[in-house]
Structure 1
Amino acid sequence: MTITSSEPLARPARVRRTVWHVFLWLLILPAVAWVLIRITGAERGLLVQLFAFTPYIAAASVVPLILALATRRWLAASVAAVTVALFALTVLPRAFTDGDRGPQTGVTVTVMTQNMLFGNADAEQIVGYVRDNDVAVLALQEFSPNAATRLEQAGLGTLLPYSTLGAEPGASGSGFYSRFPITDPGVRRNGAGLFNQAYGTVQPPGAGAIVIESAHPAAPYAVSALDDWKSDLAAEPRADKNGPPRILLGDFNSTLDHKPLRDLINGGYRDAADATGQGLIGTWGPYDGAPIPPVTIDHVLVDKRLGVGAVSVHTTRDSDHRAVIASVVIPAA
């Protein structure tokens, strides 16, 4: 009598199932850790840079859920489903209009921010955006003396005759142009000593006064720069209920997945793009042609006493940042 055994055949199948099971968890667990760190705001070290790409990780977290469901790995599918749900709660609201956009009656003023990449951004295109979108307030970062000259030659002074300028060669300069007269103008250097921020107070006809500032905190380009990045964001002015409303707009070198920026917004602001369902549109990248997915680090932060209207994002030649244009509703005086 010949006795045969299925054991040699069953063993490879068990090995394949084990390998697949391990592989599936290796896909799920990093996403679990990522979303928990995002929720708790515990990003540290190299994670700070990586967390700018959280929307991409959120989208990718759907893949292990589908694989787990397809192979009937129910525990893995349950964990993956919770992970996807948590990512959705933190990321997806940026793609939908917020029900609370602040007051919608008053004087509407359009503002715009543009990082000029060492002052090299196309001046005529920027002036075209100002003209075509009826921009009344323009905030510029990486604003150089040469950029100021080219903008003037392109006719910016005719459209926005008032300005507070802290132009400098390289990336440190800042500028603020306005259709309305500017009072209490100034330019301050951030605590990290890297970038200027131009500011001033304007009062559109029929509206109350508002304080405008062109924001440009330090970037978290390396672990050694994280303290400067955090301190600069912490030092950005909060909305002061005892003073005039503020608009803080510019290159914040942070996305809504960075806790220091969320802390700033919780200081009395709303993110205009987030409130209008435009919060997932990338404003920076790729940088110097590197294969970096676009991320949203340019923002218009509007005092909660003001309202937010339409927001749009526009590509600018010779800059690695896109222009952000937002309509702001200022209560009548």
Structure 2
Amino acid sequence: MTITDAPPAARPARRRRRVVLTVLLWLSLIPAAVWLLARTSGWEAGYSVMLLAFTPYVALWTLIPLAASLIARRWAAAAVAALTAFAFAVAVVPRALPDSDRGPADGVELRVMTANLLFSGADPAEIVKLVRDNDVDVLAVQEFTERGQNALKTAGLEEILPYNQLAPEWGASGSGLYSRHPFAEQAAKRNDGGFQQAHAAVQVPGAGTIYVESVHPLAPADPAMISGWSADLREQVPADGGLPKILLGDFNATLDHKLLRDLIATGYRDAADAVGEGWTGTWGPYDGDPIPPVTIDHVLVDERIGVKDLKVFPVAESDHRAVIAWVTVPAA
């Protein structure tokens, strides 16, 4: 006769191991589920604002408890893990896939670029080379100081982009716009967080006039800064009505922040999301900090403008990467 049952003394130990494994599996699901609830509901307060920028990494993490639950045959935990992973996938996977609708394909091509200069410490020659090599028509800069303005001028930027609206300031609050084409109107405004945002109505040959703004909300680096960050994002120019618009810059927010999604919902499309580059990091480890890359620099174009392509480029001595978008603006 073959004995298949474990000895009586071993059964309690086996049950304890099964209970411990089950508890650990459920505990591994809780953080992701709470994260998903915060991301979906738009609960953006305190340190959660910073954490939400790393949502794509949490989405990948959900595959681990899912696989563990399936291997351990904990079917209830596996079902919850599968639903959580699916919800995260719905939120983050589309931005890595090109959209079938990128807006109008006919019109005049315009090349726009944004670069956060890190207190104007970024290599000015590299910025000018990117502008020249990619035939950039409009450049938006953030963390723009008088020292940076002089360095860019010495490097030859104003020979390529002779028109400008500049609001340089010491520290991180300065902003600027450089353009190949003249401006019909231009100004700079200080947002609630204290940063300047240069803006202008750019007269594009063959395409009339479009509104362009260098965007830089306050960074949500501390809970005390969240109110300024929230106000800055809420006060960005909505897409509907008036001139066709392009907002580009360091938004200090990703597509996992509801306030940015709300701004896009006024009639914008995110250029990186449209071409399947929505996972490409623009800030994080590029100045040596041990931070996973996140996507906080954006080019938003309103739905009257099409998106042809977008690329991200490293910039020496900056913690951000430059973003260049090829867009199509309506012909006059």
TM range (shorter): over 0.9
Question: Whole-Å Cα distance in 2 between the matches of residues 202 and 184 of structure 1?
Answer: 8
Aligned to 1:76: 77
Question: Whole-Å Cα distance in 1 between the matches of residues 247 and 276 of structure 2?
Answer: 19
Mapping for residues 2-13 of structure 1, pairs under 5 Å: 6-13=7-14
Matching of residue 260 in structure 1 with residue 259 in structure 2: yes
SS of structure 1 residue aligned to 2:323: strand
Gaps of 5+ in 2: 1-5
Aligned to 1:44: 45
Q: CA deviation at 1:208?
A: 2.1
Aligned to 1:53: 54
Question: Whole-Å Cα distance in 1 between the matches of residues 145 and 44 of structure 2?
Answer: 34
Question: Whole-Å Cα distance in 1 between the matches of residues 163 and 289 of structure 2?
Answer: 38
Question: Whole-Å Cα distance in 2 between the matches of residues 132 and 288 of structure 1?
Answer: 24
SS of structure 2 residue aligned to 1:26: helix
Mapping for residues 237-248 of structure 1, pairs under 5 Å: 237-241=237-241, 243-248=242-247
My pick for the range that moved more, 109-118 or 11-20, is 11-20
Amino acid at match of 1:152: K
Q: CA deviation at 1:288?
A: 5.2
SS of structure 1 residue aligned to 2:237: coil
Matching of residue 286 in structure 1 with residue 285 in structure 2: yes
Aligned to 1:306: 305
Question: Whole-Å Cα distance in 2 between the matches of residues 272 and 310 of structure 1?
Answer: 8
Gaps of 5+ in 1: none
Relative to the length of structure 2, the TM-score reads: 0.96
Question: Whole-Å Cα distance in 1 between the matches of residues 143 and 33 of structure 2?
Answer: 38
SS of structure 1 residue aligned to 2:249: strand
Aligned to 1:224: 224
Mapping for residues 20-169 of structure 1, pairs under 5 Å: 20-169=21-170
Aligned to 1:171: 172
Equivalent residues of 2:282, 2:320 under 8 A apart = yes
Relative to the length of structure 1, the TM-score reads: 0.96
Question: Whole-Å Cα distance in 1 between the matches of residues 67 and 203 of structure 2?
Answer: 54
SS of structure 2 residue aligned to 1:236: coil
Amino acid at match of 1:237: V
Amino acid at match of 1:189: R
Amino acid at match of 2:278: G
My pick for the range that moved more, 33-42 or 208-217, is 33-42
Aligned to 2:271: 272
Question: Whole-Å Cα distance in 1 between the matches of residues 73 and 326 of structure 2?
Answer: 49
Matching of residue 324 in structure 1 with residue 320 in structure 2: no
Work out the number of aligned pairs and report it.
327
Equivalent residues of 2:286, 2:318 under 8 A apart = no
Aligned to 2:3: none
Question: Whole-Å Cα distance in 2 between the matches of residues 233 and 101 of structure 1?
Answer: 24
Distance 1:252 1:146, change over 3 A: same
Seq. identity, %: 55
Q: CA deviation at 1:42?
A: 2.0
Question: Whole-Å Cα distance in 2 between the matches of residues 132 and 138 of structure 1?
Answer: 13
Q: CA deviation at 1:298?
A: 0.3
Equivalent residues of 2:287, 2:318 under 8 A apart = no
Question: Whole-Å Cα distance in 2 between the matches of residues 75 and 176 of structure 1?
Answer: 55
Question: Whole-Å Cα distance in 2 between the matches of residues 141 and 209 of structure 1?
Answer: 23
Cα deviation 1:231-282 (Å, max 9, x = unaligned) = 01101111132x1111000000000000111111111111000111000111
Q: CA deviation at 1:287?
A: 6.8
Question: Whole-Å Cα distance in 1 between the matches of residues 227 and 285 of structure 2?
Answer: 25
Amino acid at match of 1:269: Y
Over the aligned positions, Cα root-mean-square deviation in angstroms equals: 1.1
Question: Whole-Å Cα distance in 2 between the matches of residues 18 and 287 of structure 1?
Answer: 44
